[in-house]
């Protein structure tokens, strides 16, 4: 194992595009842990419209642990709790939610817990 590992989202190891050109998820692998993901959610993106068909669940079942770099996103939990994420926010979002971009700026989020299987198409 190398003492220093350096990677960049300019050359991700995997990219998962979202439906209808509404963004993408770029992944970098980590040694012994989940991948680090950077998602770019374009204006108009909504989990229930663009990821639900891939996930096959009624709400997002990923536990997100991350940091908002830019843009804004509204999150609504299944129990009705809501919040709006903004740049500079640390996030810890439990499974069972919908979310969508607010405004006309892409929302960019780093996540080191919830993107392992996020927006991953089933392989046949």
d(CA 41, CA 78) in angstroms, rounded, equals: 21
d(CA 19, CA 16) in angstroms, rounded, equals: 10
Mean pLDDT of 113-119: 83
What's this model's pTM, rounded to 2 decimal places? 0.91
Q: Which position has the higher pLDDT, 31 or 12?
A: 12
DSSP-derived secondary structure for 47-98: HHHHTHHHH-SSSB---EEEEEEESEEEEEETTS-EEEE-TT-EEEE-SSEE
For the structural domain made of 14-111, what CATH number should be given?
2.60.120.10
Is residue 123's pLDDT more than 60? no
- What pLDDT shows up at residue 121? 65
Q: What is the pLDDT of residues 54-79, one digit of tens each?
A: 889 999 999 999 999 999 999 999 99
Mean pLDDT of 90-104: 97
- What pLDDT shows up at residue 1? 57
Parse the chain into domains and list their residue ranges.
14-111
Q: Which residues contact 25 (CB under 8 A, 6 or more apart)?
A: 15, 16, 18, 37, 38, 39, 115, 118, 119
């Amino acid at each position: 194992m190398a003492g220093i590992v350096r990677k960049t989202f300019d050359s991700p190891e995997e990219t998962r595009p979202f439906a209808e050109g509404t963004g993408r998820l770029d992944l970098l692998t980590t040694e012994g842990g989940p991948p680090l993901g950077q998602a770019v959610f374009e204006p108009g993106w909504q989990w229930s419209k663009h990821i639900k068909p891939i996930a096959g669940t009624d709400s997002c079942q990923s536990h997100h642990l991350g940091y908002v770099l830019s843009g804004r996103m509204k999150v609504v939990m299944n129990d009705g709790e809501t919040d709006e994420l903004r740049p500079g926010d640390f996030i810890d979002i439990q499974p069972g939610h919908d979310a969508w971009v607010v405004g006309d700026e892409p929302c960019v989020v780093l996540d080191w817990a919830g993107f392992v299987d996020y927006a991953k198409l089933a392989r046949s």
